[in-house]
């Protein structure tokens, strides 16, 4: 029998380094903060109908699930020897910051910028177009227009499929989602601030 160690697969991106317990603990802390914020904000939403149609129900379930996963990851990291220091919890080091903005990892800052732009556009631009057709009045909201443009751009940047394929995938997905909310729930997506 051979006693050689077989290298374990590193994942999709073939990262050069494995996660450490301190990094896992820092990740658990960040996810836990996001989860708690999600829980708090979902509970602050008005409940216009019954509990089952409350707009905060799905975010609450998602936040609760994220919190459980973060706690599980945190406990495992502590059992694996993670140090409970501020630097370890925050996971901030100059190497991590340089790695985030390095030319090799251009996808991270690009994705961050595109998502922040998308969220701000959806939050602050609000309009609704009504196009009469022989069968019904077609309603198009700012959410749909912005989503189709931004998600097509995201897909084209990171998926590398043809522009037409990215556009059609986005259009079908966004319009199906908007259709369900508009005609199933009776609201336009998303409700603005």
Give residue for tokens 């029998």: 1
Residue 141 β-bridge partners: 128
Tell how strand 128-132 and strand 137-141 pair up: antiparallel
Indicate whether 35 and 70 sit together in one domain: yes
What are the per-10-residue average pLDDT scores of the chain (193 residues)?
56 59 83 90 82 78 92 90 64 53 67 86 85 84 90 86 92 89 72 49
- List the domain range (segments joined by +) for residue 169: 102-193
Distance CA 129, CA 146 (A): 13
pLDDT digits (tens, 9 = 90+) for 107-145: 777 888 888 898 888 888 888 888 888 888 878 888 889
Quickly list DSSP for 94-118: HHHHHHHTSSTTTHHHHHHHHHHHH
Q: Is the pTM here over 0.75, yes or no?
A: no
Position 179 in a domain: yes
Closest CA to 119 of 85, 143, 88: 143
Q: Count CB neighbours of 82 within 10 A.
A: 21
CA 62 centroid distance within chain: 12
* End residue of a domain, out of 36, 58, 92: 92
Indicate whether 17 and 47 sit together in one domain: yes
In this predicted structure, what is the pLDDT of residue 12?
47
In this predicted structure, what is the pLDDT of residue 193?
43
Indicate whether 73 and 141 sit together in one domain: no
**Element containing residue 137 per DSSP (H, E):** strand 137-141
Q: Count CB neighbours of 193 within 10 A.
A: 6
Indicate whether 86 and 132 sit together in one domain: no
């Amino acid at each position: 029998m051979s006693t050689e160690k077989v290298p374990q697969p590193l994942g999709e991106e073939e990262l050069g380094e494995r996660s450490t317990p301190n990094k896992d603990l820092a990740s658990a802390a960040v996810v836990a903060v996001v989860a708690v914020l999600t829980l708090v904000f979902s509970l602050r939403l008005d409940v216009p109908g019954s509990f089952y149609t409350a707009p905060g129900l799905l975010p609450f379930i998602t936040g609760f699930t994220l919190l459980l996963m973060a706690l599980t990851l945190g406990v495992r990291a502590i059992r694996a020897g993670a140090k409970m220091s501020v630097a370890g919890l925050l996971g901030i080091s100059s190497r991590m910051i340089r790695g985030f903005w390095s030319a090799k990892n251009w996808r991270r800052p690009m994705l961050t910028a595109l998502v922040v732009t998308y969220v701000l556009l959806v939050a602050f631009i609000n309009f609704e177009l009504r196009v009469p057709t022989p069968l019904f009045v077609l309603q198009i909201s700012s959410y749909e227009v912005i989503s189709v443009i931004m998600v097509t751009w995201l897909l084209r940047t990171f998926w590398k499929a043809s522009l037409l394929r990215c556009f059609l995938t986005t259009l079908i997905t966004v319009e199906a989602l908007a259709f369900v909310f508009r005609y199933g729930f009776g609201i336009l997506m998303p409700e603005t601030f």
